[in-house]
Amino acid sequence: MNIILLGPPGAGKGTQAAVISARYKLAHISTGDIFRAAVASGSELGARAKACMERGELVPDAVTIAIVRERLTGTENYILDGFPRTTEQAEALDSFAKIDAAVNISVPAEYLIDRAIGRRICKKCGATYHIKYNAPQSEGICDKCGGELYQRADDNAETMSKRLSNYEKSTRPLIEYYRKRGKLIEIDGRKPIGEVSGEILAKLEEVRA
C-alpha cells in the first residue's frame, strides 16, 4: 500500500504517519525530515532548503521532485508525509508511483499556530511531542529513547503564518486533485491524537478490503 498524507502544517501528518507506518510496516518518507537532515549535514541541498524553510516557503518543485523520485526508486509500501505539496509535485508523483490513498487531515487555521509552537521533536529518534497535547513524561526528554527534545526553527508565529498562506495557495488544491481521482480519505484532525489514528486506520482497512 502506498499512501500520501495531506494537511496544513501542524495538522498531525508526522504524528499519524508514525502510527500508520508502524501498523502496516510502511516506509515513512517525510520531505521535511529529508530537508532538515540536509540542513544538519551542511550540504549544498541543505543550504538551499534552509533559506526556503526559514522564510516559510516551499523548496522549489524541481529539487523536491528529484529527491522523492530517487528515494522511491525500488521502494514499495510507503507513506509520504509532506509530499506532494503542489499540483506539479502531484503530477510528477503520478508519473513514477501508484498511490492507493490520499489521507487529508483537516484542521482549521485557528488550531495550527498553537500546535506548531508547542511542538517538540527528539534530536535522536525524531519522535514528535507537544507540550500540551502529547507531553513527554519528563520535560525536554524523549520517552522512547531518552534523546533531547528541540523546537523547530520554523515553528514560530511569523513563519507559521507564511507557511499557512502558502498551504492555502499551493497545497489545498490537492484535496480536489485526489478527490477527482477517487483516492481521497477525509479525516477530522481536530480530535485527540488517538481518535484521529483510529479513524484513519478504520478508513485504510476499507481501502485494503
> Which sequence positions are flagged as catalytic?
13, 85, 119, 152, 163
Q: How many CA atoms lie within 13 A of 41 on its CB side?
A: 12
Q: Among 28, 85, 130, 163, which residue sits at the site for ligand ADP (rule: CB under 6 A)?
A: 130
Residue 78 binding result from ligand ADP, ligand AMP, none, given CB thresholds of 5 to 8 Å by partner type: none
Residue 7, binding choice from ligand AMP, ligand ADP, none, Cβ under 5 to 8 Å by partner class: ligand ADP
Pick out residues in 12-71 that bind ligand ADP (CB under 6 A): 12-15
Q: Is 32 in the site for ligand AMP (CB under 6 A)?
A: yes
- Structure-block grid coordinates of residue 87: 499540483
Pick from 37, 45, 109, 193 the residue near ligand ADP by CB under 6 A: 193
Q: Which does 133 bind (CB under 5 to 8 A by kind): ligand ADP, ligand AMP, none?
A: ligand ADP
**Which residues are bridge partners to 29 per DSSP?**
80
Buried b (16+ CB within 10 A) or exposed e, 19-35: bbbeeeebebbbbbbbb
- Pick 200 or 208: Cβ nearer ligand AMP: 200
Give phi and psi for 71, each to the nearest 5.
-65, -35
> In the beta sheet, which residues pair with residue 187?
105
* 55-94: contacts with ligand AMP (CB under 6 A): 57-59, 64, 82-83, 85, 89
The DSSP-derived string for 95-160 is HH----EEEEEE--HHHHHHHHHTEEEETTT--EEETTTB--SSTTB-TTT-PBEE--TT-SHHHH
Per the CB < 8 A criterion, the answer to whether 38 and 45 are in contact is: yes
Tell whether residue 117 is a contact of ligand AMP (CB under 6 A): no
* Residue 148 contacts residue 122 (beta carbons within 8 Å): yes
53 binds, among ligand AMP, ligand ADP, none (CB under 5 to 8 A by kind): ligand AMP
Interface residues toward ligand ADP, by CB under 6 A? 7, 9-15, 115, 118-119, 128-130, 133-134, 189, 191-193, 196
